[in-house]
Structure 1
Amino acid sequence: MTFHRRQALMCGVSALLALSGCQTLPRSGPDDAVIRDNATLYFAADEKKPLTNYVLVDLTEPVLSYFPKAQRQSFRSGFGATRKGPPDLPLGVGDVVEVTLFESAAGGLFIPAEAGTRPGNFITLPRQVIDTNGYISVPYAGLIPAVGRTTEQVQDIIVQRLADRAIEPQAVINLIESRSSEISVLGDVNSPAKLAINPGGEKVLDALSRAGGISAPSAETSITLQRNGTTATVLFDDLIANPRENIFVYPGDVIYANRDRRTYLAFGASGLNGRIDFEDSDLTLAEAVGKAGGLLDGRADPGQVFLYRLVDPETLSAMGFPVTAKTEGGFPVIFRTNMRDPSAYFLAQRFPMQDKDILYVSNADSVELVKFLSVINSATSGTVAPIVDVAAAKTAVKVIGD
């Protein structure tokens, strides 16, 4: 209904209220005129202009090409060679190790003569932490470089150092606590923790499992992996559905689970009004209308379904709109789709929704007429009601028809 039509209807209502002698109607708060008149200062909007500039775009096939589904990131392609297999886990600073030394006979460097010759001639040194310089200490062998080496390599160095002092020495190193090969699992998980990597290798889902699993709905959860200055984010559902994305974790990785609660607002002649969760990895305009309860058969105008969104100026410029200003947060755009057209449903099923979109379904003109007649009926109840109702109905029908 145009502005002039509404203005004519309001004039009719005002005249009828005056005719019926109504002075006041029930209100739940102060009258808008009282609020306006009592204001210390009133910055009035220009009624001849919209409150803000916006672009109106009919949803068509060419328009869809400018709003494709968002490209998803990938763990598989985002971390180069480190995505392929489990990492080697050499010793590092802070690791706690235990060194056991063996000799083949008694009377050597570590085994006293009275011990005899038998299997098990060994001593175990006190546990020690690999220092910040990367060394451990072994008696008579000195400082042994350990950082960056496997336990087997460190054992060989110890044996070489003791070869001229002990009787056929052998060394065994046990890794008691790995502090250099840890990952952090944070965010929306049940038990955030810093975890030592399993030497056999473990993947992202394994790490999440050890942290108690995610605490938010899977469809709303994204997993971010930080590694060596590189960051990538994938949806948890994609991680489940595509095993190739479930890559091995490496020392120093940070895994962050985040509930990305995406919502849109629904207003007007839809079955549900208010804030509605996506609850899906992807949501299209057609699905959003369905989640909002569809179009009310007795109220909605299927030809006037609107979607409000802030669009980046670069996209609008590419579409040919003269939008050059850098608008923080985007430029206001209203997309209109005519669901009286059968083909519009195919377009709506391909148009992706975005977080914080606003869906508005307009009332049909006939609904406005019914509202008008209801007001007339309540305002003219009395002896003059039949005459006024008939006249008002004729006037309303004529206004709607114009």
Structure 2
Amino acid sequence: MTSRAGILRLGMMVALSLVAACGLPRSGPNKKEIYAGAVERGGNAHVIYVNDHVTRTTNFVPAYGFSSSFRNAGQVGADEIRAGDVLGLSIWENVDDGLLTSLGTSSTSLQEIQVDSAGYIFVPYAGRIRAAGNSPDQLREIITQRLSAQTPDPQVTVSRVAGNGATVSVMGKVMAQGVYPIERPTRTLSAMLAGAGGVSIEPEIAVVTVKRGNEQGKVWLTDLYSSRANDIAVRPGDIILVEEDQRSFTALGAIGGQTRVPLGNDMINAVEAIAMVGGLATALADPKGVFVLRDEPESVASRVLGKPVYGTQRMAYVLDLTRPNGLFLARDFLIRDSDTIYVTEAPYVQWNKTIAAITGSVDSADSVASFGE
């Protein structure tokens, strides 16, 4: 029976050793497996050790901002009449029985005259008149001139009852979404946002997008307030969208926490990014195997590799924190949107797991053997 138990125990140890060697749980590939995927070995990723050249070449952060067409657009004249505006007219005639006035009255009011889509209004006895593009005072002179041929010395006043022809739509993370007229106090982007009650999220993560025709531009809310050049003039038909920035990086492997982390509007380096997720797991992490996985645009990849490449390239940047300048290089290496930070396990970790699996299995084998006896 003892011989049988020993054989059983030995067989289970061999089987479990094989299982432990190829099927132990782990957080992801090890360094050797990542290097095996390098272009030089027939893979499709460039494995690059980070040095000063790499940090200088890759350290750009795509910036938000408005194009010159947005910045150079002039403010809408607060008094300029546009298609869709509603006007109010008052006309005085210097006769007892005028064209438009009733007997015994000297004036008449024509309220809620809407400027049509072509920019015209109709005034009795004056005909169809182009209103859009004129100020109320200019339109007053045109109507007065038209009526002067039919009634002596008419007096006309023109006012904008509602400025529906010059509006913008404000949507997203604001206190009061809606369609707002462009008025004297709200002719710039910051003023229009204030008119909508301001943003409803933290300013540090708020991005403001302005869509104008087939173009669009976006800016951080904090940059909007800090730089006057970003406070562009709003134009009729603009769509203003406030949303939370979606840029982020992902952290995986032998670190304090595996998660997706928002970038916000700050420039974050590799050291800060690792710290944000709890740092390297002391009992697991290999400080020589910190990888930043990224799809690099053609122009940057060509400069990093020192040769022309075509199309977006998969890059696996290696940070060896044990080198004399390793932490400095990690501090200088900026993290970008959609990056993946992956920390490999130290080689001895897998060995310890194997030993633990074997020794644990021996105890199980003893139990089985005892049961067999």
Give TM-score, length-normalised by structure 2: 0.78
C-alpha contact 2:167 2:182 (8 A) present in aligned 1? yes
Q: Does 2:87 correspond to 1:102?
A: no
Q: Find the counterpart in structure 1 of residue 288 from structure 2.
A: 303
Q: Which residue of 2 aligns with 1:376?
A: 358
- Structure 2 residue 267 is the aligned partner of structure 1 residue 267: no
Q: How does 1:200-239 map to 2 (within 5 A)?
A: 200-227=185-212, 229-239=214-224
Q: CA deviation at 1:169?
A: 2.1
| Cα distance, 1:189 vs structure 2 | 3.9
Deviation at 1:363, TM superposition (A): 2.3
Is 1:246 aligned to residue 237 of structure 2?
A: no
Cα offset for 1:322?
5.9
> How many Å apart are 1:318 and its aligned residue?
2.8
Question: Is the CA contact (8 Å cut-off) linking 2:70 and 2:232 kept in structure 1?
Answer: no
Please report the RMSD computed on the Cα atoms of aligned residues, expressed in angstroms.
Answer: 3.4
Secondary structure of 1:380's partner?
helix
Task: Give matches, 1:171-186, under 5 Å.
Answer: 171-186=156-171
Alignment partner of 1:293: what SS?
A: coil
Q: Deviations over 1:298-318 (max 9, x none)?
A: 322223211111223443233
1:320-356 C-alpha deviation (Å, 9 max, x unpaired): 3667454xxx322111112234633333333222222
Aligned match for 1:60, one of 21, 32, 51: 51
In 2: Cα distance, 1:243 partner to 1:323 partner: 40
| Match in the other structure for 2:65 | 74
In structure 1, what is the equivalent of residue 327 of structure 2?
345
Letter in 2 for 1:63: V
Secondary structure in 2 aligned to 1:335?
Answer: strand
Q: 2: CA distance between counterparts of 1:203 and 1:133?
A: 26
Per-residue CA deviations over 1:27-83 (Å, capped at 9, x if unaligned) read: xxxx98xxxxxxxxxxxxx9x964942111111111122213224243384525325
Distance 1:162-1:17 versus aligned 2 partners, 3 A rule = farther
Q: 1:185 to 1:138 in 2, by over 3 A?
A: same
SS of the equivalent of 1:127 reads strand
Structure 2 residue matching 1:21: 3-state secondary structure: helix
2:135 maps to a residue whose letter is T
**Map of 1:367 onto structure 2:** 349
Cα distance in 2 for residues equivalent to 1:366 and 1:23: 21
What is the rounded CA distance, in whole Å, between the counterparts of 2:323 and 2:56 in structure 1? 20
Contact 1:73 1:233 in 2 (8 A): yes
Q: CA 1:62/1:49 → structure 2, altered by over 3 Å: closer, same or farther?
A: closer
SS in 1 for 2:191: helix
20 and 218 in structure 1: CA distance in 2 versus 1, 3 angstrom threshold: farther
Match of 1:284 in 2: 269
Give the alignment of 1:164-175 within 5 angstroms: 164-175=149-160
State the SS of the aligned residue for 2:219: strand
Kindly indicate whether the alpha-carbon contact (under 8 Å) linking 2:291 and 2:343 is maintained by their aligned counterparts in 1: yes
Match of 2:112 in 1: 127
Deviation at residue 17 of structure 1 after TM alignment: 9.4
Aligned to 2:133: 148
Asked if the contact 1:97–1:177 (Cα under 8 Å) also holds between the matched residues in 2, the reply is yes
Q: Which sits farther off after the overlay, 356-365 or 374-383?
A: 374-383
Q: Give the distance between the partners of 1:130 and 1:363, measured in 2 at CA.
A: 72
Structure having greater relative contact order (Cα 8 Å, sep ≥ 6): 2
Equivalence for 2:338: 356
1:264-298, Cα deviation, whole Å (9 max, x unpaired): 22122211113223244433222211111111223
Q: Partners in 1 of 2:118 and 2:244 — Cα distance?
A: 41
**Unaligned segments of structure 1, at least 5 residues:** 1-15, 26-30, 33-45, 116-120, 385-402
Aligned residue for 1:360, secondary structure, equals strand
Q: Which SS does the other structure have where 1:381 is aligned?
A: helix
1:65 corresponds to which letter in structure 2? R
Q: How far apart, CA to CA, are the structure 1 residues paired with 2:296 and 2:62?
A: 17
**Separation in 2, partners of 1:270, 1:302:** 11
Q: CA deviation at 1:215?
A: 4.6
Greater shift in the superposed pair: 355-364 or 369-378? 369-378
Task: Quote how far apart the aligned CAs of 1:263 are.
Answer: 2.5
Partner of 2:3: none
Instruction: Report sequence identity in percent.
Output: 26
Cα distance, 1:203 vs structure 2: 1.8
Number of equivalences: 341
- Cα gap change, 1:86 to 1:284, in 2 (>3 Å): farther
Q: C-alpha separation between the residues in 1 aligned to 2:167 and 2:255?
A: 51
Once the two structures are TM-superposed, the CA of residue 89 in structure 1 deviates from its matched residue by 4.7
SS in structure 2 at match of 1:297: coil
Question: Can you give the 5+ residue segments of structure 2 that lack an aligned partner in the other structure?
Answer: 1-6, 17-21, 24-32, 367-373
Shift of 1:154: 0.4
- Render the CA deviation track for 1:157-215: whole Å, top value 9, x for unaligned: 11222234435322111212223211122344454422211144422123234445445
**Partner in structure 2 of residue 162 of structure 1:** 147
* TM superposition shift of 1:153: 0.2
Distance 1:382 1:294, change over 3 A: closer
Contact 1:105-1:111 at 8 Å conserved across structures: no
